[in-house]
Structure 1
Amino acid sequence: MREDEIGSLAEAAEAEFMYQYESTASPATKRALGIATARIGGGVCLSVRHDVTGYWSKALGFGVTEPVTEELVDELVAFYLAEKAPGAVIQIAPARLPEDWPEICRRHGLTPTSPWIKLVGAVDYVQMSHTTDLSIRPVDACDYPLWASTALRGFGMPTDGLSDMLAEALAHPGFRPFAAWDGDEMVAAANLFVHGPVGSLNATATLDTHRNRGAQSALIAARAKEAANAGCRWLCAETGKPGDGEVNPSLTNLVRSGLRPLYERQNWAWSPGGSTESEGS
């Protein structure tokens, strides 16, 4: 399979699991967090108005089934303005950006922010075992709330509202949550999203107290085995690009486990009032 085809599968899988995390929230959770979701131009547009982290409001998955155009970005911006979003991030694979992207960015005040690295690997070549003194196993439905709070705490995010959102989403049949346990304590969380031939690794986080004990590598291996059992041919993941002189342990663990960087994807930040058109209106 060509790299652009693999990239399209990976982008579509990421967009879909993000959509499911937010769109399947209960009405009460949606009201509390100000969640709104939409499918636009072959991708997804997600707004969480009351999310203090700024992470969960994003638009992604574009350029796979429909081209990225000025009109598409106009529609995305209109969605966020209608939702009174304080900001959002637009994520588009580099090969999907149109020639007039700089002009589109100027019109809407889109600014580059921390880039991510998209990684992929054939399931058969990803390690499916890793030794750790922690217990690695799938998460039962009764522990979904604990899994959600552990993941958020591992990322340094608040749990209010967001924990309910994540826990409620895990009932989706495509999600396969795993965790690492130290005795009776859940100390790391990770999820697998099965989307056709792709298994998308996501939501991997370890509590500060249990880092450097092999939890992430073991969770990658467990999910790779689960993805193979589910019939997936590919594993994909995304993580932040480390700065000069810095190391991203997640990137190191993913590469060591058999995934390879496919491309660097620039994130584009949008904020209300940032476009030249709105300033002149």
Structure 2
Amino acid sequence: MTTTVPPGVAELTEIMAYTDFATSAPASVQESLGLATLHAGPIRALAIREDPSHFFNRAGGLGTEHPVTVDDLTQVGDFYRAQGVTQGSLMIAPHLLPPDWTTTASKLGLTEGSRFVKLGRDLEAAPAIQGHPALDPGWRVGVVDAQQGHEWATVMQTTFGFTAPNMIEMAASFVGRANWRQYAIWEGERIVAVGSVFLNGECAHMFAGATAPDSRGRGAQSALLAVRLDAAAAAGCRWIVAETGAEGPGEHNPSLQNMLRAGFEPMYERTHWQWHAKS
């Protein structure tokens, strides 16, 4: 079975998930983080000045409604510059890059960053998995409510290394937000793994699956993938998408392998093109 997720829909859903996630934070948290967004036609960009990882400084939607232009790229760079960030990523599906991309990227000072695999699953052609993966005895999976939001967000952000001030508060703020579902796995009373899914009409997006280091290799992420697939199907989504780091020669990405076992199929590998303030 070959996934039929339209790449433009997949790309837009991904960047919409990031911007919706971040802007759920209260105004005071957004201000302390130096958080801002850009929305220009299909292009959306997010900037968080006080995030030293630069991970959340990202732009997407480029090329989804019209060919990528120098003006589009310049607009994103100007937005980053105006927000005082020093580095940001431009996410463009490979087949949406213009023919003269190498020359264009060089002129704008864009450099190749990490490579990610974009994956998709057609929920109509391949319904959700029958039966969830077995969990360790004493573990349970369930929906997270607002009262558990801070613990849930702490596991999510610290696992990924996003520990700058107010980053956990930002993540806790989107628990219970419309068009989102958040799940956790508990070992007794402790949350050991988390995951969420963004519901964008026909398309859903897997977001922020993370397991505490001392609880890995015990099936948590497979269980969280299954419950989120169920949630997307129950919400009437036709497709669901995700991305994770691409595997280089001799490399093994457990997240990628878990997604493949859950029925996701690779759509393409995408380079995150890096913008720098000196550009």
Name the TM tier (shorter chain): over 0.9
Contact 2:5 2:239 in 1 (8 A): no
Deviation at 1:41, TM superposition (A): 3.8
Unaligned segments of structure 2, at least 5 residues: none
Distance of 2:165 and 2:176 partners within structure 1: 19
Q: Please state if 1:132 is matched with 2:160.
A: no
Tell me the residue number matched to 1:109: 109
Contact 2:179 2:199 in 1 (8 A): yes
Distance of 2:164 and 2:224 partners within structure 1: 22
Contact 1:37 1:44 in 2 (8 A): yes
Farther-moved stretch of structure 1 (94-103 vs 258-267): 94-103
Q: Please state if 1:189 is matched with 2:211.
A: no
Q: Please state if 1:22 is matched with 2:22.
A: yes
Q: Please state if 1:162 is matched with 2:162.
A: no
TM-score (norm 1): 0.93
Contact 2:203 2:238 in 1 (8 A): yes
4+ runs of 1 displaced by more than 4 Å? Answer: 2-5
User: Per-residue CA shift, 1:196-254, capped at 9, x if unaligned?
Assistant: 11121111000001000100000000011111111111121000112220100000000
Partner letter of residue 112 of structure 2? P
Contact 1:136 1:181 in 2 (8 A): yes
Distance of 2:156 and 2:91 partners within structure 1: 22
Contact 1:120 1:260 in 2 (8 A): yes
Residue aligned with 1:82, SS: helix
What is the percentage of aligned positions where both structures have the same residue?
Answer: 34
Unaligned segments of structure 1, at least 5 residues: 275-281
Tell me the residue number matched to 1:79: 79
Deviation at 1:4, TM superposition (A): 7.4
Q: Please state if 1:90 is matched with 2:90.
A: yes
When you count helix as a share of all residues, which structure comes out higher? Answer: 1
Which of residues 206, 210, 217 is equivalent to 2:211? 206
Distance of 1:126 and 1:235 partners within structure 2: 11
Residue correspondences, number: 274
Distance of 2:37 and 2:4 partners within structure 1: 27
Deviation at 1:159, TM superposition (A): 5.5
Partner letter of residue 169 of structure 2? D
Contact 1:125 1:258 in 2 (8 A): no
Farther-moved stretch of structure 1 (205-214 vs 149-158): 149-158
TM-score (norm 2): 0.93
Distance of 2:246 and 2:128 partners within structure 1: 21
